[in-house]
Structure 1
Amino acid sequence: MKISNGSAELATEIVGEGPDVLLLHAGVVDRRAWRPLVERLAPTNRCISFDARGHGGTTYQPEPFSRVGDALAVLDSLGSSSAVVIGNSMGGRTALDLAVEHPERTTALVLVAPAISGAPQGDDSPEVQAIDEQMQAAEDAGDLDLLNRLEARFWLDGINGGAEGRVGGQVRELFLDMNRRALAAEPTGDEDRSTNAWERLEQVAVPTLVVVGDLDYDVSTANALTAAQRIPGAEVLRLPDAAHLPVLEGNEACLRGITEFVAAHRP
């Protein structure tokens, strides 16, 4: 189904019945990345996922917009007053921004390798700097196929000890398809980035689970773990054999941990 907000028609998928769970995807994938988790949650929850602007099947015209605003539009359209919100990377940033700006709409948070608005940049390792330079060169040359392969190496395999091609088969093909669409997408317009969740982490007042993969890049992991220390009562799930997209990987410990957390904090 499509849900309207501004010029955007947000491609939205609803699976299951029960308390609402809103799933916000990373910037290199689309809503299809949540399928392994939706299979676990849908028997007892209404799982709501949608493609952000610039991803998947969502259509739009360039305009000023807010990712939190899009998330609220989806919840409002479906008559959802609040939800467990699960976000990965870019979606984690949106989930946190939603929690600090509209705490009444969030009953619990799951932050998977979250980006965090206002977080420090940190110092990248030589390996990260090297692949960043390769990705920038591919982007400058307009070689989206090479850029897509490099991003699979970085985000899917994991630059911190994950061997190239660590994740293969249908999962890798799905990543390459989702990210290829994102790389080729038209500009979305100016995104509202006025929220600084990093300065407000202590205000998060709902049960929170932070998930990190040890194969992810160091700055992402460090910021996520710092956030977990500062969010009151936050739990941490560390995955020694996963990178930035553990749900897409189908990492069993990740899927089980999130499923148990959601079950424990059903409204």
Structure 2
Amino acid sequence: MKRFFGWLFIIVALTLLVGPYLVPIDPLEGVVPPESLADKDSRFIEVDGLSVHYKEAGSSAPQFLLLHGFGASTFTWREVMDDFAGHGRTVAYDRTAFGLTERPVEWQGDNPYAVTAQVRQGFDLMTALGMETAVLVGNSAGGRTALSLALARPERVRALVLVSPAVGFGSGGILRWFKPLLETPQMDRLGPWFVRRIATSGNDTIRMAWYDPSLMTPDVVEGYRQPLKAQDWDRALWEFTRAPRDELTAHGVKGPIEERLAELKGIPVLVITGDDDRIVPVDRSKAVADGIPGSQYVELPNCGHVPQEECPQPFFAAVEAFLKSSEIILPPPEPAVAETPAEPAPAAG
């Protein structure tokens, strides 16, 4: 019996060690350089040695920097881009691994997919575009990145709008336990294969983000899937998945965002979510708001994880009210009332 289990252990071990190298992984077909997928209003700028895709509208202060979530791109801001631009210069960009921003598969030095690199990229993009300060608007994982930016350089963040922010509160333990497995050569080979299967298996994950999936027209689905035509999207998404997730505070100390929310007490903050968010539960968004002194919290009825897409009008109305209450934007001055000239006194008879 001992010999049987000994041989069984050897067979299982060999299968785990060698099996991944026996799985055929075909090269991606039909992929093209990201620039060839650009829209008419797309722009590209080199930041930290990478070509970053962004869109810009509006002018003057205040300035807004829009950060999308996992698996999304600048496309997620299409319904509210002009609304923000009506109040100031607005820039939406594709974070590394997403959209049409360059996807490095080899690099020297810091991992470009790590949180620290994402934070540096955000600030370096702001600097390259002449944005000394900005209101950061982040959805889901983009909200978490916005929080990291604010903790690292609070003096450059005028306000935060956190849209269904992906902040865990105790959910990171499993990932930390699982992370060493992601670093093995076997998973390095299989990772992009798994990513392809998940990303191309259907639209169920996208539909989960919406309260009313019937609003997801074929054009919306295509907008989300367009970046899957870019070269190396599978490898980049895999590298992002297993990249270091350590966040930095303003003093360069690593630590979980969940434990440092109170440090943001000097920054105006709005946390806004749909009341039927099935990606980031509503209680997590509420916990973020509760952890930041003086923050505002809004739940939009009959809305899901991407209220800027599904409920753009009530979403921006709430954002606009927050910006006015925080004096980020000011109401237009009252029109001057012309004085009515006095009637001339009647001449003496």
| Partner SS for 1:147 | coil
Question: Counterparts of 1:119 and 1:203 in 2: how far apart (Å)?
Answer: 16
Q: Map 1:38-77 onto structure 2 (within 5 A).
A: 38-62=81-105, 63=107, 64-65=111-112, 66-77=117-128
Separation in 2, partners of 1:212, 1:111: 8
Which residue does 2:207 correspond to in 1? Answer: 153
Give the secondary structure class of the aligned counterpart of 1:174: helix
The aligned counterpart of 1:266 is 328
- What do residues 39-90 of structure 1 show as CA deviations (whole Å, max 9, x unaligned)? 1121220001111112221113134022111111110101211111000001
Would the aligned equivalents of 1:212 and 1:244 in 2 still touch at CA under 8 Å?
Answer: yes
Residue 12 (structure 1) aligned with residue 38 (structure 2): no
2:79 to 36, 52, 68: 36
Find the counterpart in structure 2 of residue 174 from structure 1.
223
Give me the whole-angstrom Cα distance separating, in 2, the residues matched to 1:89 and 1:218: 9
How far off its partner does 1:148 sit? 3.9
Cα drift, residue 31 of structure 1:
0.8
Structure with greater proportional strand content: 1
Residue 21 (structure 1) aligns with: 64
The residue type equivalent to 1:84 in the other structure is: V
Determine the C-alpha separation between the residues in 1 that align with 2:78 and 2:138: 14
Question: What residue identity is the alignment partner of 1:44?
Answer: H
Match of 1:198 in 2: 258
Question: C-alpha displacement at 1:224, in angstroms?
Answer: 1.2
1:108 equivalent in alignment to 2:170: no
> Could you say what secondary structure the match of 1:94 adopts?
helix
| Pair 1:72–1:165, CA change in 2 (3 A) | same
1:257 aligned partner, one-letter code: A
Q: Which amino acid aligns with 1:266?
A: I
Letter aligned with residue 252 of structure 1? Q
The one-letter code matched in structure 2 to 1:54 is: A
CA distance in 2: counterparts of 1:49 and 1:141, whole angstroms: 25
Deviation, structure 1 residue 9: 0.9
Mean alpha-carbon deviation: is it higher for 249-258 or for 33-42? 249-258
Shift, 1:219, TM fit:
5.0
Residue ranges of structure 1 left out of the alignment (5+ in a row): 123-138
Structure 1 contact 31–56 (Cα < 8 Å) conserved: yes
Aligned mates of 2:279, 2:94 — CA distance in 1: 27
1:187 is paired with a residue whose SS is helix
SS at match of 2:235: coil
**1:40–1:259 contact (8 Å) kept in structure 2:** no
Structure 1 partner of 2:275: 214
TM-score between both structures, scaled by the size of structure 2 = 0.63
Preserved contact between residue 75 and residue 81 of structure 1 (Cα < 8 Å): yes
Q: Deviations over 1:71-128 (max 9, x none)?
A: 1111010121111100000110010011111101101100000012x63229xxxxxx
Q: Residues 141 and 172 (structure 1 numbering): CA distance in 2 closer, same or farther, change over 3 Å?
A: closer
Q: CA deviation at 1:243?
A: 0.8
The question of 1:3 aligning with 2:57 is answered: no
SS of equivalent residue, structure 1 residue 72? helix
Query: What amino acid sits opposite 1:197 in the alignment?
Result: I
Q: CA RMSD in A?
A: 2.7
Once residues 205 and 292 of structure 2 are traced to their aligned partners in structure 1, the CA distance between those partners, rounded to angstroms, is 30
Could you tell me the percent identity over the aligned residues? 27
Contact 2:103-2:233 at 8 Å conserved across structures: no
CA contact (8 A) 1:23 1:86 kept: yes
Measure the CA separation in 2 of the matches of 1:228 and 1:140: 35
Q: What secondary structure, in the 3-state scheme, does the structure 2 residue paired with 1:36 have?
A: coil
Secondary structure at the residue paired with 1:259? helix
Look up the match of 2:13. none
The CA distance in 1 between the partners of 2:271 and 2:77, in whole Å, is: 17
Instruction: Check the 8 A contact 1:84/1:109 in 2, yes or no.
Output: yes
Give the unaligned 5+ runs of structure 2.
1-42, 173-192, 248-255, 330-349
> Larger relative CO (CA 8 A, sep 6+): 1 or 2?
1
- 1:240 CA drift (Å): 1.8
Q: Is the 8 A contact 1:15 1:48 kept in 2?
A: yes
- In 1, the alpha carbon distance for the partners of 2:195 and 2:75 equals 29
Judged with a 3 Å threshold, the aligned counterparts in structure 2 of structure 1 residues 184 and 151 are, in CA distance, closer, same or farther, namely farther
Are positions 1:186 and 2:235 aligned together? yes
Q: Cα distance, 1:202 vs. partner?
A: 0.5
> Which whole-Å CA distance do the structure 1 matches of 2:87 and 2:51 have between them?
28
Residue of structure 1 equivalent to 2:297? 236
Match of 1:193, as an amino acid? Answer: R
The answer to whether the 8 A contact 1:110-1:258 is kept is yes
